[in-house]
């Protein structure tokens, strides 16, 4: 700027033949130049800087880091069943020759001042609630897995490795809670992944909450200690593949594994358990350059790929599979809900993480399950005639296949299955099938409808048979709880980011107000035991003394992202794991 003034000053020094009109013209030109320069060089509004660029110049940590090495070095334990000598390498393409990455996000236009003001107020409401919940966790349950908000205490359930703390790292970062983030990172550095509060470590939960949380926070902040601890944990999960057939165990006995005692692959596990290791282990190979993690999960992908069209409902996999027998085809019950959900979610997401160069398996698996789901699992529920116009919705059900291979739809819906609308929309953009985006929108509207239909504004865990006090169009609230789940708002987030439709932001705000009101406690938020209580007639919502780690890690994060600028965690730059942890696309 000083050089510009100096240059212009030289040009404007009066000369003997310079007229007053020329002086005025030059002054006008200077003013215009300075105005243009101001708009080109002025900083972005504080909102944008805080959300989109803060981490680029975050500076050193605000808390001292004392890295504690885990008492078991999982990477140094000699395997009883060594992997192949030449591990499968991450697929790559020659520079300039790879497939063009499809655009996922809607091209958002400039918002008006009024739209911005409304959005920011809503975002701050989400941030305030998050901070309240986090402060309560820090005060009453620090370094424990979960907060008990009513009794103001903590509880361990996932190995005692501070699940809420690790799970919430990237949420704290995104929300600009820098001091809280740095304190949490310092605590993470001291976690001992060789010492579990339970004899068995569940590989699935450890993978999505802990490993996913560490890698996402590393991708966002670049803090080296997070990668160091992620490698320790990744080596633990990798040790779970030390079996005769190199298929992973569902639970790993820490003491036995540390002593080199052989692991036994379970005869039957839910299909989501092995199927939901693929994204995180692939990302760990991408970050570290060590192909062993990706090599381990290729056997899982191969197994599901080989079996997809050999099941009783070709395209879909039974609820339970056997890793010991390497059998993913035997079974007669099929669902997109609990036990199977993230198996299907990871097919298109792994394709995206690999940049579309992972070969034909993932597109085949994705299209196969989507086509089968449209044919067999999705249904339009009977709605009350008072709903005008009639909502254009779908809901995901379950299917049981009888001995004659006839498929019977069970129109039971559960909250866990509400992820499928977002997955359909994402896959629709990845594979350029806009009809699937439309199907995803109808499925998401179905879950939004379920929220709005109940007097608390919350959808129950599971819906099925008839009771008179429920809204028409629904049968029994088979499980009437709301345990702070994210799946419905997850799909609303995807539909908002992919289509840009205003209905999704408004639906999100309705959902947030209902959730915040019904779950409110002095210390933050607690699970709801019965969403069918008629609060309008004076009913009191019964609460459960529990706050799951995914409340901050997923549910509040999705709400926050919906009311943030769309470049914050863009779907064209990140892929989110099933716990809403964003992994940077390579």
How many CB atoms are closer than 10 A to CB 573? 12
Instruction: Give me the catalytic one of 280, 295, 341, 345.
Output: 341
Question: Sign of torsion, CA 361 366 372 375?
Answer: negative
pLDDT beyond 50 at 49:
no
What is the DSSP secondary structure assignment for residue 261, as one 8-state letter? Answer: P
Percentage of the chain surpassing pLDDT 70?
87
> 198-227, pLDDT tens digit by residue?
989 999 999 999 999 999 999 999 999 999
pLDDT beyond 60 at 31:
no
CB–CB of 414/340 below 8 Å? no
Q: Is 410 marked active-site?
A: no
pLDDT at 537: 86
On whether 540 is known to bind a ligand per the annotation, the reply is no
Instruction: Give me the catalytic one of 167, 205, 414, 579.
Output: 205
Establish whether the linkage from the previous residue to 121 is cis, with ω within 30° of 0: no
CB–CB of 313/376 below 8 Å? yes
What's the residue count for the chain?
586
d(CA 102, CA 441): 19
558: in domain: yes
Q: Three-state DSSP class for 382?
A: coil
CB–CB of 223/61 below 8 Å? yes
Token reading at 128: 């305030």
- Domain tally for the chain? 1
pLDDT at 54: 53
- Alpha-carbon separation of residue 513 from 123, 390, 507 (angstroms): 12, 24, 10
How many CB atoms are closer than 10 A to CB 301? 20
pLDDT band per the 50, 70, 90 thresholds, residue 56: very low
pLDDT band per the 50, 70, 90 thresholds, residue 38: very low
How many CB atoms are closer than 10 A to CB 13? 7
Instruction: Give me the catalytic one of 182, 235, 436, 487.
Output: 487
Token reading at 563: 């009311």
pLDDT band per the 50, 70, 90 thresholds, residue 260: confident
pLDDT at 231: 98
> 90-126, pLDDT tens digit by residue?
998 766 666 678 999 999 999 999 999 999 999 999 9
**For residue 322, what are the domain limits?**
68-92+120-584
6: in domain: no
Q: Is 414 marked active-site?
A: no
21: in domain: no
What CATH number has the domain bearing residue 366? 1.50.10.10
pLDDT band per the 50, 70, 90 thresholds, residue 470: low
Instruction: Give me the catalytic one of 412, 461, 490, 530.
Output: 461
pLDDT at 45: 40
Residue among 250, 301, 244, 294 nearest 275 (CA):
301
pLDDT beyond 60 at 172:
yes
Residue among 143, 130, 230, 20 nearest 558 (CA):
130
pLDDT at 467: 37
Residue among 163, 187, 162, 183 nearest 173 (CA):
183
Q: Is 111 marked active-site?
A: no
pLDDT beyond 70 at 348:
yes
Residue among 558, 438, 401 nearest 492 (CA):
558
- Alpha-carbon separation of residue 209 from 33, 340, 345, 576 (angstroms): 53, 17, 16, 12
pLDDT band per the 50, 70, 90 thresholds, residue 51: low
Q: Which residue has tokens 């970050």?
A: 287
Token reading at 346: 């990871």
337: in domain: yes
17: in domain: no
CB–CB of 216/169 below 8 Å? yes
Q: Is 490 marked active-site?
A: no
27: in domain: no
| pTM, two decimal places | 0.89
Mean pLDDT of 371-378: 98
447: in domain: yes
- Nearest-10 crossing angle of helices 224-239, 292-307: 50
Contacts of 59 (CB under 8 A, 6+ apart): none
pLDDT beyond 50 at 466:
no
302: in domain: yes
For the chain, the 3-state helix, strand and coil shares in percent, each to the nearest 5, are 50, 10, 45
Q: What is the DSSP string of 225-245?
A: HHHHHHHHHHHHHHHTT-STT
How many CB atoms are closer than 10 A to CB 557? 31
Our CA angle for 578, 551, 392, nearest 5°, is 65
Instruction: State the chain's mean pLDDT as an integer.
Output: 89
> 394-416, pLDDT tens digit by residue?
999 999 999 999 999 999 999 99
> Residue 251: what are its φ and ψ, rounded to 5°?
-130, 135
pLDDT at 65: 92
pLDDT at 383: 78
pLDDT at 62: 78
């Amino acid at each position: 700027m000083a050089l510009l003034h100096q240059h212009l000053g030289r040009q404007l020094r009066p000369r003997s033949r310079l007229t007053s009109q020329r002086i005025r013209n030059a002054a006008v030109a200077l003013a215009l130049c300075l105005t243009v320069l101001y708009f080109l060089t002025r900083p972005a509004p504080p909102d944008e800087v805080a959300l989109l660029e803060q981490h680029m110049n975050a500076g050193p940590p605000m808390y001292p880091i004392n890295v504690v090495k885990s008492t078991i070095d999982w990477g140094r334990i000699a395997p009883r069943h060594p992997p192949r000598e030449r591990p499968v390498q991450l697929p790559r393409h020659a520079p300039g020759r790879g497939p063009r990455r499809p655009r996922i996000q809607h091209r958002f236009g400039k918002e008006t001042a009024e739209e911005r003001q409304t959005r920011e107020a809503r975002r701050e409401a989400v941030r305030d609630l998050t901070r309240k919940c986090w402060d309560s966790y820090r005060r009453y349950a620090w370094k424990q897995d979960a907060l008990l908000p009513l009794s103001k205490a903590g509880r361990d359930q996932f190995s005692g490795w501070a699940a809420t703390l690790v799970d919430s790292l990237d949420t704290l970062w995104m929300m600009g809670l820098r001091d809280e983030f740095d304190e949490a990172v310092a605590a993470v550095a001291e976690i001992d992944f060789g010492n579990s509060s339970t004899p068995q470590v569940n590989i699935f939960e450890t993978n999505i909450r802990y490993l996913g949380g560490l890698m996402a926070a590393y991708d966002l902040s670049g803090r080296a200690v997070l990668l160091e601890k992620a490698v320790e944990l990744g080596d633990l999960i990798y040790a779970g593949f030390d079996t005769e057939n190199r298929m992973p165990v569902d639970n790993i006995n820490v003491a036995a594994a540390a002593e080199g005692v052989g692991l036994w692959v379970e005869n039957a596990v839910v299909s989501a358990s092995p199927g939901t290791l693929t994204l995180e282990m692939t990302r760990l190979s991408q970050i570290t350059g060590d192909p062993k993690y990706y090599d381990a999960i290729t056997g899982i992908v191969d197994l599901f790929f080989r079996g997809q069209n050999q099941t009783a409902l070709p395209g879909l996999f039974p609820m339970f599979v056997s890793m010991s027998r390497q059998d993913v085809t035997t079974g007669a019950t099929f669902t997109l809900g609990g036990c199977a959900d993230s198996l299907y979610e990871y097919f298109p997401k792994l394709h995206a993480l690999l940049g579309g160069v992972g070969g034909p398996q993932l597109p085949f698996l994705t299209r196969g399950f989507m086509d089968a789901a449209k044919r067999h699992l999705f249904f339009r529920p009977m709605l009350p005639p008072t709903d005008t116009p009639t909502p254009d919705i779908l809901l995901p059900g379950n299917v049981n296949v009888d001995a004659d291979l006839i498929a019977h739809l069970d129109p039971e819906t559960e909250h866990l299955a509400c992820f499928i609308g977002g997955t359909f929309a994402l896959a629709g953009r990845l594979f350029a099938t806009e009809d699937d985006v439309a199907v995803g929108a109808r499925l998401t509207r179905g879950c939004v409808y379920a929220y709005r239909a109940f007097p608390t504004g919350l959808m129950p865990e599971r819906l099925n048979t008839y009771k008179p006090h429920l809204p028409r169009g629904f049968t029994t609230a088979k499980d009437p709880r709301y345990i702070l789940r994210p799946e419905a708002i997850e799909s609303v987030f995807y539909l908002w980011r992919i289509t840009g439709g205003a209905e999704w932001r408004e639906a999100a705000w309705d959902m947030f107000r209902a959730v915040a009101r019904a779950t409110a406690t002095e210390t933050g938020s607690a699970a709801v035991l019965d969403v069918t209580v008629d609060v309008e007639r004076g009913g009191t919502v019964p609460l459960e003394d529990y706050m799951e780690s995914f409340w901050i890690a997923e549910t509040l994060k999705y709400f926050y992202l919906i009311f943030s600028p769309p470049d914050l965690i863009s779907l064209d730059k990140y892929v989110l794991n099933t716990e809403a942890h964003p992994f940077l696309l390579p």
